[in-house]
Amino acid sequence: MKKYDIVNEITDTKNYEYEEITVREFLNTICPKEERNNFIRQMFAVNMHYLLSEETYDRAFSVIDDISSDKELEGFNAIVFLQYKHKNKTSSFHSVLDVSKYTKLINYCKEKKVRYGFDSCSCPMFIESIKNDIDKNQMEMLSEPCESGLMSSYINCKGEFFVCSFAEGEGEWTKGINVLECDNFVDDVWNNERVIEWREKLIGNKRSCPIYNLVPSVQKV
């Protein structure tokens, strides 16, 4: 039997009985411990989602250092930066709005050869941070700004529709649209007057969040 052929056999479920098993136990059954890291890298793309705020900014550099130097993290796919939104009014965190600081962070990823990504909330900041890059046009094509209410939405556990999860309970979205009471989702919800107004506002704002202040600013570090 070739190495890891058991993985292919597992996909044939016709004569299998199922039982609960932890990921560690599963990996121990299909490859030796010394080969586990290589196997994981072949089977899975592992990303780290990092909440980026003014308060977590400095630590991000040490995390990038760890990714680039720790042998246990070889083959790590990417670190994905999530722009902090001040939804929790009691939180002491603040969004990173300084373009020069964001640019420094992205350049550090490049310097350390660490792959990176970002959420759509960060897109305006990222686009601004690469405006002087030689591959700016290509990078812009690969960057997706906010798509809330355009290509995606959020429905909470009560069956209430919001243009995104961070919009719930905020401003004009203090209350959502009741999906459970609608007769036709497209007409009653997706093309609801509130959603259409949101789309127009989002597009008019160059797809930068109309709810949270995430507009990039140029400051001295």
Between 42-46, 49-53, 150-154, the lowest mean confidence (pLDDT) is in: 42-46
Mean pLDDT confidence for 96-112: 96
Give the per-residue pLDDT at 195.
98
The domain total for the chain is: 3
Q: Give percent above pLDDT 90 in the chain.
A: 71
Give the per-residue pLDDT at 217.
85
Mean pLDDT confidence for 102-119: 96
Whether residue 65 is found in the same domain as residue 172: no
Whether residue 85 is found in the same domain as residue 18: no
Give the per-residue pLDDT at 6.
43
Whether residue 196 is found in the same domain as residue 140: no
Whether residue 220 is found in the same domain as residue 132: yes
Whether residue 30 is found in the same domain as residue 64: no
The model carries a pTM of 0.78
Give the per-residue pLDDT at 79.
96
Whether residue 97 is found in the same domain as residue 15: no
Whether residue 221 is found in the same domain as residue 133: yes
Whether residue 125 is found in the same domain as residue 49: yes
pLDDT in tens, 76-86: 899 999 999 99
* Residues of the domain holding 33: 1-44
Whether residue 114 is found in the same domain as residue 221: yes
Rounded CA-CA distance 71/55 in Å is: 28
E-state strands within the chain: 47-52, 78-83, 116-118, 154-155, 160-162, 177-178
> Within 13 Å, how many C-alpha atoms sit on residue 170's CB side?
18
Give the per-residue pLDDT at 22.
76
Whether residue 196 is found in the same domain as residue 218: no
First to last CA, the chain: 59
Considering only residues 212 and 3, tell me which one the structure prediction assigns the higher pLDDT. Answer: 212
Whether residue 112 is found in the same domain as residue 133: yes
Whether residue 72 is found in the same domain as residue 109: yes
Give the per-residue pLDDT at 18.
64
Q: Give percent above pLDDT 70 in the chain.
A: 85
Between 35-39, 64-68, 138-142, 178-182, the lowest mean confidence (pLDDT) is in: 35-39
